[in-house]
Amino acid sequence: MRRLLLFTALLALAAVPAAAAKEPVRATVCGASGCKTSTDRTRLARVPWGGSDVPAAPRPAPYYRIRLKIDFGATVKLIWVPSRSVFYRELEGNAPGWSSVVQGKNALAWLVRGVRPFPAPKTWATVL
């Protein structure tokens, strides 16, 4: 019985890092002036890629395309609209949609530094 408890405790401890690890390991941001990539995991950990859903798309405004590679192998595609504090998110296995950026605005601003945004589209349908 004692061995079984020890084994169960060790198994639980081994599973904790895998369950907790869902962070970006690479990000590529693109705008009108080109693209840049970052692998600074400390800063990327602050980049939001989830959030509260918003009921409708914002009015068109300048935007960035961001592709995040997550440590468990998934890729998240974002359309970030800084002036509206929202992004559109596509993640395999989840319904795509618009989310508000509550935390992480500074991390997103750091990520896109030096890249000029794409101009506002006539409609989001042409971008998504």
Q: Are 78 and 27 in contact (CB under 8 A)?
A: no
| Full DSSP string of 8-63 | HHHHHHHHHHHHH---EEEEEEEETTEEEEE--HHHHTTS-----B-SSPPPP--B
Low-confidence ranges of the chain (pLDDT < 70): 1-21
Domain 22-126 fold is Immunoglobulin-like (2.60.40)
Is pTM beyond 0.85 here? no
Residue 21 pLDDT: 60
Give me the chain's average pLDDT, please.
84
| Angstrom distance (rounded) from CA 122 to CA 56 | 16
pLDDT at 79: 96
Per-residue pLDDT of 86-96, as tens digits, reads 999 998 878 88
